[in-house]
Amino acid sequence: VPEGHTIHRLAGRIQQLFVGQTWRVSSPQGPFTAGAARLTDRTPNRAVAWGKHLIVHLGADIWHVHLGLYGSFGFRGDDAFVTSDALGELRPVGRVKEPAYDDAGWIIPDEPRGAVRARIHVPGGWGDLRGPVKCRVLNPIQYEALVGRLGPDPLRQPTGEIDPQMLRTFRDNLARRRISIAAALMDQAVIAGVGNVYRAEALFVERINPDTPSQQLDAGQTNALWTTITDQLRTGVREGSIRTLRPTDSELGLRGSDLHRHHEGRPGRAAESLRSHWVYRHHDTPCLRCGQTILMRELQGRRLYWCPGCQKR
């Protein structure tokens, strides 16, 4: 499931591979034909992410994509196109071995496979969007309405900094909600970009019980939660995956013998590398920090993981 870090990486990739070049846009599957006609043969100015929303600006037209649970982008292109992508570890841009070019010097893309909602194409390569929940062109008023509904996105803070205004907005949003902190973190109007994994891991790290009413968090807890989520999301952007449990975590050392035992004799280092999360998907196993059994239950249709030993009210 894409969380905010995935969309920020995607925006960075589209910025590198497409922005500043005239592109062709089509909708092989069909539903986006009218939108594609508005965007094609133009030059995208900027690609950014806001929470889980991908936004590509083309003057007064704004392409808005939300991948939802099943949406994905795939990219292919020639050597120069592949090389210009700096984020390629996880889902690399596919290299076309023997590219063919049309008379205008544009690479000839593969036949669309499956339901390609939108295809974006520049001379060196192309990207295919499949299965999004949102793929549409907004005008500036619609765009303002969209981002006006979103809470602060920690990844929109200046690099390496905590933005006090965004932190204040997060705190105000929590104070106004009559819901648990676990529900609040999934509400994109409270904070944008957090999904199921970051929710579970951040609450665990800060020892906050997921059922605590969001109004009851004190300023210290709110600040710490924002900072932890910021760190986790930034790491996710850097590494391309959600890894919230680090081999260097000092607390891990305290439970090192347990970790070793639970992985049945594998060397500790290898065992650590197998495990990326403290609690997410580790229910019914002992907590690495306190030894109590990690729990799981459904909350609003999504699975919630927490440790009853560390995360008391």
Residues designated catalytic: 2-3, 52, 302
Task: For Zn ion, give the closer residue by CB, 155 or 307.
Answer: 307
Rounded least distance, CB 208 to Zn ion, Å = 12
CA pair distance 62, 208, nearest whole angstrom: 39
**Exposed (0-12), middle (13-18) or buried (19+): which is 197, by Cβ within 10 Å?**
buried
DSSP designation for 156 = G
- Asked whether the beta carbons of 182 and 311 are under 8 A apart, the reply is no
Which residues make up the interface to Zn ion (CB under 5 A)? 287, 289-290, 307, 309-310
Looking at the Cβ atoms of 162 and 290, the one nearer to Zn ion is 290
Least Å distance between CB 254 and Zn ion? 11
Q: Minimum distance between the CB of residue 307 and Zn ion, rounded to whole angstroms?
A: 3
Helix (H, G, I), strand (E, B) or coil at 213: strand
In the complex with Zn ion, the residue whose CB is nearer, 188 or 228, is 228
Strand pairing partners for 47?
A: 56
Residue 23 or 306: the one with the smaller Cβ distance to Zn ion is: 306
Residue closest to Zn ion when measured from CB atoms = 287
Closest approach, Cβ 294 to Zn ion, in A, equals 7
CA–CA dist 188, 18 (Å, integer)? 28
Task: Return the ∠ at Cα 127 (arms to 125 and 129), rounded to 5°.
Answer: 170
**Joined tokens for residue 148:** 């006006």
